[in-house]
């Protein structure tokens, strides 16, 4: 009777397919997030950022709450406070980013915002190469918002401040998400954070709500933002991270500003000078180089077995 057990070559091929599937899905989520952000850029001038972010959080809750409802018995203060803090950060991050998109355009806002996760990636490094990458990224942003990039009057200082706020809060979001994941399993912590964020945003959304501005086209755009920018990518993150390493995940994420610029051009009719294109490429290149050259910790036999079962 022939042996039907998988050969090592078959196992390696299966793992490779799994990694490719995870990487392709992660690239798809980057497209989804930035397409959603471009739709937000269309609808923000009509209904305002607070309404857009509130609807986005509501869609997120509808998508995850039935599956990741926190258990009240587990909501001790030590587990709950990081999720509450994450909710505040989530509200500030999204409002700051969408307002910066409104004032600067999607391509520029997304590139500046990316300094947040890049700073986290470089914070614990002592390598000279990473220092060079940090300097290059800073140079890219200076080129992006400096007078040589475009008409100086088009670069709104308040928009830049908001984009930098979004970058700082994105860095906080990463730190708090790690803390929340330890205390609350799955997406339960994110569910609590989304509730907090929605509660904070609703009063502002109600205050800026204009019923005359709404029609079915606006409603569909708002739902599209919620699904594409929150519900879909967050739901797929667990699937992705079980198939690719955090480093590969970060490398793919580093191309987010380029994808954002493409959708800014396609959907929002944004135009970029040669200097702006170069600046975006420098920031993405610096991020990709810093992350790709990091050394990964060797996996234990248990971790390799778990990866094969995922």
3-state secondary structure of 186: coil
**How many angstroms separate the CA atoms of 53 and 208, rounded?**
12
pTM: 0.82
Q: Is the pLDDT of residue 186 over 70?
A: no
**How many angstroms separate the CA atoms of 139 and 11, rounded?**
45
Supply the Cα-derived Rg of the chain in whole angstroms: 21
At 63-114, the pLDDT tens digits run 877 766 666 656 666 677 888 898 999 999 999 999 999 999 999 999 999 8
Average pLDDT, the chain: 82
Max Cα-Cα span within the chain: 78
Closest CA to 99 of 51, 52, 34, 159: 159
Q: Is the pLDDT of residue 243 over 50?
A: yes
Contacts of residue 253, defined as CB under 8 A and 6 or more positions apart, other chains included, come to 26, 30, 117
At 285-297, the pLDDT tens digits run 988 888 777 665 5
**How many angstroms separate the CA atoms of 159 and 109, rounded?**
8
Higher pLDDT, 192 or 162: 162
At 10-41, the pLDDT tens digits run 477 777 888 888 888 889 999 999 999 999 99
User: For 124, which DSSP code?
Assistant: T
Contact by Cβ (8 Å): 287, 125:
no
**How many angstroms separate the CA atoms of 191 and 49, rounded?**
21
């Amino acid at each position: 009777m022939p042996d039907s057990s998988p050969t090592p070559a078959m196992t390696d091929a299966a793992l490779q397919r799994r990694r490719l599937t995870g990487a392709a899905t992660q690239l798809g989520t980057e497209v989804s997030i930035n397409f959603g952000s471009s739709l937000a850029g269309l609808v923000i001038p009509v209904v305002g950022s607070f309404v857009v972010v509130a609807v986005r959080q509501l869609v997120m809750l509808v998508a995850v709450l039935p599956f990741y409802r926190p258990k009240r018995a587990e909501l001790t203060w030590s587990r709950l406070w990081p999720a509450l803090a994450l909710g505040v950060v989530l509200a500030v991050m999204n409002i700051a980013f969408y307002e910066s998109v409104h004032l600067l355009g999607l391509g520029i806002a997304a590139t500046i915002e990316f300094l947040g996760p890049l700073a986290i990636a470089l914070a614990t490094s002592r390598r000279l190469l990473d220092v060079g990458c940090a300097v290059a990224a800073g140079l890219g942003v200076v080129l992006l918002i400096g007078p040589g990039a475009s008409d100086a009057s088009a670069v709104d200082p308040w928009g830049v401040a908001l984009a930098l706020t979004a970058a700082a809060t994105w860095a906080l979001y990463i730190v708090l998400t790690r803390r929340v994941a330890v205390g609350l399993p799955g997406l339960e912590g994110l569910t609590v954070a989304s509730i907090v964020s929605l509660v904070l945003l609703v009063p502002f959304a109600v205050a800026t709500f204009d019923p005359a501005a709404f029609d079915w086209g606006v409603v569909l755009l708002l739902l599209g933002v919620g699904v594409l920018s929150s519900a879909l990518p967050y739901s797929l993150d667990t699937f992705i991270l079980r198939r690719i390493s955090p480093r590969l995940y970060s490398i793919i994420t580093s191309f987010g500003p380029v994808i954002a610029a493409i959708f800014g051009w396609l959907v929002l009719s944004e135009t970029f000078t040669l200097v702006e294109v170069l600046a975006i490429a420098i920031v993405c290149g610096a991020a990709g180089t810093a992350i790709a050259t990091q050394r990964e910790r060797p996996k234990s036999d248990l971790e390799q077995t778990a990866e094969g079962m995922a």
